[in-house]
Structures are given as structure tokens and as C-alpha cells.
Structure 1
Amino acid sequence: MEIRIKDEFIKLGQALKLAGVVEDGVEAKYAINDGLVLVNGEVENRRGRKIHPGDTISYDGKDIYVIG
């Protein structure tokens, strides 16, 4: 799946919501805090992590490709 961003970056929690893999910020927070989200193949536990075009987010068996 791909998400397109208009700005230089998007925060990880917002990216998960934009992709539709979480319902809201609370669900994103728990998924990230529980170590269930990977960014570029590494576990990420910062909800505010800046995600740029070219990054890949993995969650719940889905890969999300960020494009600009």
C-alpha cells in the first residue's frame, strides 16, 4: 500500500492513520509503544518519528510505502 504526502515529512502516528491501519491516535500510540511498528525494517517506538518519502512502515503484516 502507498500513502502520498505533500509536505517534507509526516509523523509516524499520522502516517498510520492516513494509511487506515489504525482508527485513531490512541490505537497508533499503543501499537508503536508495544513495538509492533517497523520503520525501514527497525522497531520504532517514537510516535513523533518523522517519516519521509522513501520510508517504509510495516504494521500488522502490511507494508506502507511513503511517496512524495
Structure 2
Amino acid sequence: MKQRIVLKTEYMTLGQLLKEINVISSGGQAKWYLAEETVFVDGEPENRRGRKLYPGMMIEIPEMGTFFMAKNGNTEDETE
């Protein structure tokens, strides 16, 4: 399932995204989750909860789906 995440600020961290999409219930669980599960940011494995996610980035969480970061108010998916 592909989903668009609209950023209300310049960026969102990977830990914030995991909480936003209800993969984890608190920010403190992000480090544990990323140590146990593989998450891809723009096709590369990522395990840093503080990784900044900007508009146009694609995050893939196996068994959860693919998420595209978009600017606030943008009606189309970013592809750059």
C-alpha cells in the first residue's frame, strides 16, 4: 500500500514517521524497532531514528507499505 505523508514542517525524522503511522506507540521505541526491522529510505536500509525525511523521499517498511513524503499543500506526489 502506497501512502502520502504531508509534512507540516521542513522535515520529519524517521522516528516521528514511525509514530505517525502507528508502527510504534512512543518515540522511545523507534531505536528498538529499527534494530529489529529493516526500513528503507530511498531504497537504502536505514536504522537511524533521527534520519531526516524531506519532501520527495520514499520510505518502505516491509509489511506496512511505502510512504512518500510531500510538502504541505502539494496535491501531487514528489518524485525528485
Same fold, TM-score > 0.5, yes or no = yes
Instruction: State the alpha-carbon separation in 1 of the partners of residues 15 and 29 from structure 2.
Output: 9
Q: Does 1:67 align with 2:51?
A: no
Gap runs ≥5 in structure 1:
none
Question: CA–CA distance in 2 between the matches of 1:35 and 1:41?
Answer: 15
SS of structure 2 residue aligned to 1:48 = coil
| Structure 2: runs of 5+ lacking an equivalent | 72-80
Cα-Cα RMSD: 1.6
Number of residues paired by the alignment? 68
TM-score (norm 2): 0.72
CA contact (8 A) 1:33 1:46 kept: no
- Superposition deviation, residue 42 in structure 1: 0.6
Q: Which has the larger radius of gyration?
A: 2
Structure 2 counterpart of 1:52, one-letter code: Y
Aligned-partner SS, 2:15: helix
Q: Structure 2: how far apart are the matches of 1:60 and 1:28?
A: 16
1:28 corresponds to: 30
Of all paired residues, the percent bearing the same amino acid is 38
Establish whether residue 12 from structure 1 lines up as the match of residue 14 from structure 2: yes
